[in-house]
Amino acid sequence: MDTLPLGFRLKDKPCLLVGGGEIAQRKASLLLRAGARIHLVALEVIPALREAVEAHGGRVSLRGYDSGDIESNILVVAATDKLDLNAQVSADAQSRGIPVNVVDAPALCTVIFPAIVDRSPLLIGISSNGVSPVLARILRGKIESMIPAAYGRLAELLGEFRNKAKVRFPDVSARRLFWETQLDGSMPELVFSGRVDEARTVIEQAIANPDQRGAGEVYLVGAGPGDPDLLTFKALRLMQQADVVVYDRLVSAPILDLCRRDAERIYVGKARADHALPQEGINALLVRLAQEGKRVCRLKGGDPFIFGRGGEEIEELSEAGVSFQVVPGITAASGCSAYAGIPLTHRDYAQSVRFVTGHLKNGTPDLPWAELVHPNQTLVLYMGLTSLGPIREQLLAHGLAATTPVAMISKGTTPDQRVVIGTLKTIEDKLANEPLPAPTLIIVGEVVKLRSRLNWFVPLS
């Protein structure tokens, strides 16, 4: 380890910044965010930099650098494009024992500015010791995507109880175990979802009764149409902290592999006339698991509120007084159409789109057909593969032209994606020659014509 990462308190402390260009402006931004009082020295200063320094109580000297400028500062930054000047600033600072940073010159630095993930009061610094700042910034971007902004609120909340926890658990090991238990429970997720007061109550109760089991919660998570890269950050976070994962048939294996490794997994998939567990049983299962104090990820293909029965499940959770969250997912219509190169709307072809299910509760495609047969509209049918014949007959009977393009997309967004294109007149014959497995999405409308030009996704052959 070539350098030791340290937190540097700069609030209301004097810092010298030599340089007046864009590079100096970037350094000034960091110093000002930390509350430093900057003395800026440069022959020329860009207006935005000058305004920022003076707005935060600093001062600007429009002149050349003098060695005496170093005095009385606790940090010095050289950010000019003159190598000899930067070297002089570094030498002057080091001779006085003052920490110094020189932009893009690690050998002249006694301190290195890391790439920073700011979730104040929580800060994460990533440093390459000046070897590859670009790599550090790339890693910062990856970490930024994994850590919600609400981690700052979580850190502040924990700070509120720091002294109380010390009194309640004077032993360091016991106190560490207490905080680990809290951070591994449902409390952080209350903060992330904006329920800070509830999280505060959970901590207060845990300090008063540390052996009491906390309440469980259900996360209703949309897993999208199959490609794990389409998961939201929040979906992935909840999947990786759940104690139990209750999942559907439409959840792909690569997505399931992203769940917490030691989580209990319960399959409740439903195929046509073959339900691993009836819907009422799934509802009761979610309630029971949560009441046992477990964090339950109810993982559903697509979006849980679009033909996913998510509303039915959280109705029962609500009636039972179980806390829950809903995480939207990319619904099959959006994901599969995009990966098939078929835009659902287009100014020249379709100004509206309708999502309907081809398999209703009573087992028949009993739909408002007259409303669905409309010019300049795209029709998307979920779960319609086995009902394609009756669907086709109804659309034709209600006036849709036999030449209307139709796309059948099987296992969309996955390496096994297959697409069959036809018209209302030909699609059944096409499927007879090229059968498709479920799940299959049906898209009806003129936008299907665009696939020949816009198809971009190449699945495995």
Active site residue 248: yes
346 and 300 in a single domain? The answer is: no
**What's the pLDDT at 364?**
61
301 is in an annotated binding site: yes
348 and 432 in a single domain? The answer is: yes
- Residue 135 in any domain: the answer is no
Contacts of residue 269, Cβ cutoff 8 Å, sequence gap at least 6: 247, 248, 249, 250, 276
Domain boundary among 308, 330, 352: 330
97 is in an annotated binding site: no
- Residue 275 in any domain: the answer is yes
| Annotated catalytic residue, options 69, 92, 248, 294 | 248
227 and 324 in a single domain? The answer is: yes
**What's the pLDDT at 387?**
87
pLDDT-derived band of residue 180, with 50, 70 and 90 as boundaries?
confident
Mean pLDDT of the chain: 92
The string of DSSP letters for 66-85 reads: -GGGGTT-SEEEE--S-HHH
pTM of the model: 0.72
**What's the pLDDT at 209?**
87
- Residue 447 in any domain: the answer is yes
296 and 347 in a single domain? The answer is: no
287 and 339 in a single domain? The answer is: no
| Annotated catalytic residue, options 270, 425, 430, 449 | 270
172 and 238 in a single domain? The answer is: no
pLDDT digits (tens, 9 = 90+) for 336-357: 999 999 999 999 999 999 999 8
State yes or no: pLDDT of 273 exceeds 80.
no
Active site residue 12: no
Both structure tokens of 188: 């952080």
Domain boundary among 302, 330, 358: 330
303 is in an annotated binding site: yes
332 is in an annotated binding site: yes
Give me the mean pLDDT over the 76-102 stretch: 96
The domain in which residue 92 lies consists of 14-113
307 and 362 in a single domain? The answer is: no
310 and 411 in a single domain? The answer is: no
- Residue 460 in any domain: the answer is no
364 is in an annotated binding site: no
- Residue 173 in any domain: the answer is yes
311 is in an annotated binding site: no
386 is in an annotated binding site: no
Provide the percentage of residues in the chain whose pLDDT is more than 90.
75
Q: Report how many domains make up the chain.
A: 4
Domain boundary among 159, 175, 208: 208
Q: What is the CATH number of the domain that holds 20?
A: 3.40.50.720
- Residue 144 in any domain: the answer is no
43 is in an annotated binding site: yes
26 and 106 in a single domain? The answer is: yes
180 is in an annotated binding site: no
Give me the mean pLDDT over the 138-158 stretch: 90
Both structure tokens of 23: 């590079």
Q: What is the CATH number of the domain that holds 244?
A: 3.40.1010.10
Contact between 307 and 313 under an 8 Å Cβ cutoff? The reply is no
pLDDT digits (tens, 9 = 90+) for 356-409: 987 655 556 678 999 999 889 999 999 888 889 999 999 999 999 999 999 999
240 and 322 in a single domain? The answer is: yes
437 and 343 in a single domain? The answer is: yes
Q: What is the CATH number of the domain that holds 380?
A: 3.30.950.10
Question: Rounded distance, CA 419 to CA 411, Å?
Answer: 9
331 is in an annotated binding site: yes
341 and 445 in a single domain? The answer is: yes
**What's the pLDDT at 148?**
83
**What's the pLDDT at 144?**
87
Give me the mean pLDDT over the 49-75 stretch: 96
pLDDT digits (tens, 9 = 90+) for 14-44: 999 999 999 999 999 999 999 999 999 999 9
State yes or no: pLDDT of 123 exceeds 60.
yes
Place of tokens 């902290």: 241
- Residue 132 in any domain: the answer is no
Who wins on pLDDT, 246 or 278? 246
State yes or no: pLDDT of 256 exceeds 70.
yes
The b/e string for 367-389 (b: 16+ C-beta within 10 A; e otherwise) is: bebeebbbeebbbbbbbbbbbbe
- Residue 363 in any domain: the answer is yes
pLDDT-derived band of residue 173, with 50, 70 and 90 as boundaries?
confident
